[in-house]
Amino acid sequence: MKKTDELRKRAKRIVSLLKKQYPDAKCALNYENPLQLLVATVLSAQCTDVRVNMVTPALFARYPNAESFANADRGELETAIKSTGFFRNKARSIQGSTKRIVSDYGGEVPNTLEELVHLPGVGRKTANVILGNAFGVPGITVDTHVRRVSHRLGLTKHAIPEKIEQDLMKLIPKKEWTAFSHRMIFHGRQVCLARKPKCEICILNRVCPKIGVKK
């Protein structure tokens, strides 16, 4: 069997096992519309989803639409999101993207990857989160967990998120991209930890080249 065929076979098994382990995996950020998800995703950088979900209810009540974020007093916005860390950069990204949304898209978040990544402060990771969860457009989100778990499972050898995304897109069925991302994130948070992975209880140890167990 060719190496590429073996890799596809392993990826198929991983998809199946993760689906069994995390059947209800979904975005951990709380949101009601694409704009809220965009803002929450920006805030989640270097911050836990739990903390972001503590901040956003009051934030979204104060700034209910793109125009209100775009016209917000920068200092007041920074104060409102300060507990998420890196608040100055995040406030700059939020206001930059919402100003563009107001000026170019009538206040509505665009629904294509090409348009989203041209918003200030929005990269492919944030764009794929928005597309997959707010618009139902399949996308693979490469965060620190997806990157780590993908490497350990031998699904990629790259370090650059965009190249990891491309590798996974070739191996994972398109219809599974969004759910697969959530399940990989859940697995990275709960089992395949950065410093001390719980290999002894991992449902993927039977297909993980790091373990060497093939069943």
Q: Which amino acids are annotated catalytic?
A: 125, 143
List, as own/partner pairs, every contact residues 95-102 make where C-beta atoms lie below 8 angstroms and the sequence separation is at least 24, other chains included.
Answer: 95/69, 95/70, 96/120, 96/121, 97/38, 97/42, 97/121, 97/122, 98/35, 98/66, 98/67, 98/69, 98/70, 99/70, 101/35, 101/66, 101/70, 102/66, 102/67, 102/70
What is the CA angle 93-163-206, rounded to 5? 115
- Residue pair 83/103 in contact (Cβ under 8 Å)? The answer is no
Per-residue DSSP letter, 120: T
Residues near 176 by beta carbon (within 8 Å), at least 6 away in sequence: 15, 138
